Structure 1
Amino acid sequence: MEHYLSKNPASGPNSKTRTEPLVKVITAIATLGGLLFGYDTGVISGALLFMGPELQLTPFTTGLVTSSLLVGAATGALVSGSLADRLGRRKIILILAIIFAVGALGTALAPNLEVMLISRVILGLAVGGAGTTVPVYLAEIAPANRRGQLVSISELMIVTGQMLAYMSNFAFNEIWGGEHTWRWMLGIATLPAVLLWFGMLYMPDTPRWYALKGRFAEARDVLNRTRAKEDVDWEMMEIEETMTAQAQEKGSLRDLRVPWMRKVFLIGVGFAFFHAATAVNSIMYYAPVILQNTGMSTNAALFATIANGVVSVIMVMIGILLLGYIGRRKMAALGQIGCTCCLFLLAAISAFMPEHIGSEVNLLRSYLILGSMLLFLCFMQGAYAPVIWLMLSEMFPAKIRGICMGGAVFALWCSNVIIAMSFPVLLASFGLASTFAIYGAVGIVGIIFVLKYIPETRNRSLEQIEHYLREKYDEERVMKAQKRQKTARQAG
Structure 2
Amino acid sequence: MSMSANENLFTEERANIYTETENENWKEETVEDLDDEYLTEEEKLHPWKQTKVFYWSVFVASVAVLFYGIDISAISGAQVGYKPHFHISSRTNLVGVMVSCIYFGTFIGVFVALYTNTYFGRRFSIYVAAILSTGGCLWEALAPSWQVFIPGRLVVGISYGIIGETAPVFLAEMAPTSIRGGIVSLYQQVITIGIFIGYLVNVIFVWVDYKVTGWRIMIGAPMVPSIIEVFLVWTAPESPRWLIKRGRLEEAKRNLMKLRLYPETAEKDFIRIKKSIEEDERLQEGKNLMLELIRLPFLRRAVLVGIMEMLFQQMSGMNVFMNYIDTVFQENIHMSSRDSVAVSLFPGFVNMMATPIVFFTIDRYGRRTLQLVTFPIMFLMLLMVLFSFYGDRKVNLAFFIIGVIFFIVAYSPGAGPVPWTFCAEVFPTYVRAAGTLVTTFFVNAFNFALSFSWPSMEAAWGPQGSFGFYAGFNFLGILMQFLFLPETKGYTLEQMKVVFEEGLFTIAWYHIRSGWRSLRKLLGLPVSNTPLISPYDKAVALSRAREEELRRHSGEPVKDG
Distance 1:3-1:151 versus aligned 2 partners, 3 A rule? closer
| Match for residue 150 of structure 1 among 153, 171, 183 | 183
Note the alpha carbon deviations across 1:443-487, whole angstroms, 9 max, x for none.
222222211222212122211223x3254459969x9xxxxxxxx
Distance 1:12-1:207 versus aligned 2 partners, 3 A rule? farther
Note the alpha carbon deviations across 1:355-400, whole angstroms, 9 max, x for none.
xxxxxxx233123212211111011113221212211111112122
What SS is found at the alignment partner of 2:489? coil
Distance 1:12-1:189 versus aligned 2 partners, 3 A rule? same
Equivalent position of 2:5 in the other structure? none
1:290 lines up with 2:328 in the alignment: yes
> Percent identity of the aligned residues?
24
Distance in 2 of aligned mates of 1:470 and 1:162: 35
Equivalent position of 1:261 in the other structure? 299
Counterpart mapping for 1:374-385 below 5 A: 374-385=405-416
| Match for residue 126 of structure 1 among 159, 174, 182 | 159
Distance in 1 of aligned mates of 2:444 and 2:376: 21
1:180 lines up with 2:213 in the alignment: yes
Counterpart mapping for 1:81-480 below 5 A: 81=114, 83-228=116-261, 229-248=263-282, 249=284, 252-256=289-293, 257-292=295-330, 293-350=332-389, 352-354=390-392, 362-466=393-497, 468-469=498-499, 471-472=501-502
Distance in 1 of aligned mates of 2:481 and 2:113: 26
What SS is found at the alignment partner of 1:389? helix
Distance in 1 of aligned mates of 2:209 and 2:81: 12
Stretches of structure 1 that go unaligned for 5 or more consecutive residues are 355-361, 480-492
User: TM-score scaled to structure 1, two decimals?
Assistant: 0.89
Distance in 1 of aligned mates of 2:109 and 2:382: 29
Deviates more, 1:4-13 or 1:424-433: 4-13
Distance 1:85-1:329 versus aligned 2 partners, 3 A rule? farther
Distance in 2 of aligned mates of 1:177 and 1:15: 53
- More helix by percentage: 1
Equivalent position of 1:487 in the other structure? none
For residue 7 of structure 1, report the CA deviation from its aligned partner.
Answer: 8.1
Distance in 2 of aligned mates of 1:130 and 1:295: 37
What SS is found at the alignment partner of 1:307? helix
> Does the CA contact (< 8 Å) of 1:295 and 1:363 recur in 2?
no
Distance 1:411-1:474 versus aligned 2 partners, 3 A rule? closer
> Does the CA contact (< 8 Å) of 2:307 and 2:443 recur in 1?
yes
Stretches of structure 2 that go unaligned for 5 or more consecutive residues are 1-31, 510-561
RMSD value over aligned CA atoms? 2.6
Distance in 2 of aligned mates of 1:123 and 1:194: 13
- Which entry has the higher C-alpha Rg, 1 or 2? 2
Distance in 1 of aligned mates of 2:217 and 2:240: 40
Distance 1:472-1:216 versus aligned 2 partners, 3 A rule? farther
> Does the CA contact (< 8 Å) of 1:80 and 1:133 recur in 2?
yes
Note the alpha carbon deviations across 1:144-165, whole angstroms, 9 max, x for none.
2221222222211101111111
Distance 1:278-1:238 versus aligned 2 partners, 3 A rule? same
What SS is found at the alignment partner of 2:386? helix
**Between Structure 1 and Structure 2, how many residues are aligned?**
469
For residue 269 of structure 1, report the CA deviation from its aligned partner.
Answer: 1.5
Distance 1:121-1:200 versus aligned 2 partners, 3 A rule? same
Deviates more, 1:446-455 or 1:74-83: 74-83
Equivalent position of 1:490 in the other structure? none
> Does the CA contact (< 8 Å) of 1:12 and 1:461 recur in 2?
no
User: TM-score scaled to structure 2, two decimals?
Assistant: 0.79
For residue 12 of structure 1, report the CA deviation from its aligned partner.
Answer: 12
For residue 192 of structure 1, report the CA deviation from its aligned partner.
Answer: 0.8
Distance in 1 of aligned mates of 2:256 and 2:502: 29
